[in-house]
Structure 1
Amino acid sequence: MHPRLICLGMAGLVLAIAAACGSTRSTADDIASRPPPRTSASYVLAQGETVTLAPAVTLRLERVNDSRCKKGAVCVWAGYISYSFVLADKQGSTSFLLAEDMPGASKTATRNGLTFTLQGLEPAEPPALKAAVPDYRVSLRVNISQPI
Structure 2
Amino acid sequence: MKYVAIAALALILGAWLPNAFSDDTGKIQYTLGSSTAIATSQGLVIQLENVTDSRCPSDVACIWAGQVNVTLTIQSPTSKGAISLVKSAGQNSTTPFDNYVLQLVDVKPYPKSGQSISLSDYIVTLNVSQASEQKIRLVSDSKLCLAGVDTCVMAKKLHLAPLKQIRVGLGALDVSCKDGYQLVLKSTNNMPSCVKPSTADELVKRGWALASDEITKLRSLYESAS
1:56-135 equivalences in 2 (<5 Å) = 57-70=44-57, 77-101=64-88, 107-123=93-109, 125-129=110-114, 131-133=115-117, 135=121
* Helix, strand or coil at the partner of 1:100: strand
Q: How far apart in 1 are the matches of 2:96 and 2:113?
A: 34
Q: Which has the larger radius of gyration?
A: 1
Counterpart secondary structure, 2:88 = coil
The alpha carbon displacement at 1:54 in A equals 4.5
Deviation at 1:101, TM superposition (A): 2.6
Counterpart Cα distance in 2 of 1:117 and 1:71: 23
* 2:97 partner letter: R
Alpha carbons 2:79, 2:98 under 8 Å: kept: no
Alignment of 1:32-47 (within 5 A): 39-47=26-34
The count of aligned residue pairs is: 106
CA distance in structure 2 between the aligned counterparts of 1:119 and 1:106, rounded to whole angstroms: 6
Amino acid paired to 2:124 = V
Change (3 A) 1:139 1:77: same
> C-alpha distance in 2, partners of 1:127/1:49?
26
| TM-score for the superposition, normalised by structure 2 | 0.39
Residue 176 of structure 2: aligned partner = none
Q: What is the aligned-residue RMSD (CA, Å)?
A: 3.0
> Which residue in 1 is equivalent to 2:126?
140
Q: Which amino acid aligns with 2:75?
A: A
CA contact (8 A) 1:50 1:59 kept: yes
Distance (whole Å) between structure 2 residues aligned to residue 83 and residue 113 of structure 1: 20
- Would the alpha carbon gap of residues 127 and 112 (structure 1) be closer, same or farther in structure 2, given more than 3 Å must change? same
Of Structure 1 and Structure 2, the greater helix share is in 2
**Structure 2 unaligned runs (5+)?**
1-25, 134-187, 189-207, 209-226
Deviations 1:26-73 (A, max 9, x none): xxxxxxxxxxxxx53110011243111258631111111112344677
Distance in 1, matches of 2:59 and 2:39, equals 39
Q: What is the match of residue 15 of structure 1?
A: none
Higher strand fraction: Structure 1 or Structure 2? 1
1 CA distance for matches of 2:74 and 2:108? 22
Quick one: which amino acid aligns to residue 43 of structure 1?
Answer: Y
- Residue 66 of structure 1 aligns with an amino acid whose one-letter code is D
Which residue identity lines up with residue 127 of structure 2 in the other structure? R
Identity %, equivalent residues: 22
Higher relative contact order (CA 8 A, sep 6+): 1
The normalised TM-score by structure 1 is: 0.57
Which amino acid counterpart does residue 40 of structure 1 have in structure 2?
A: K
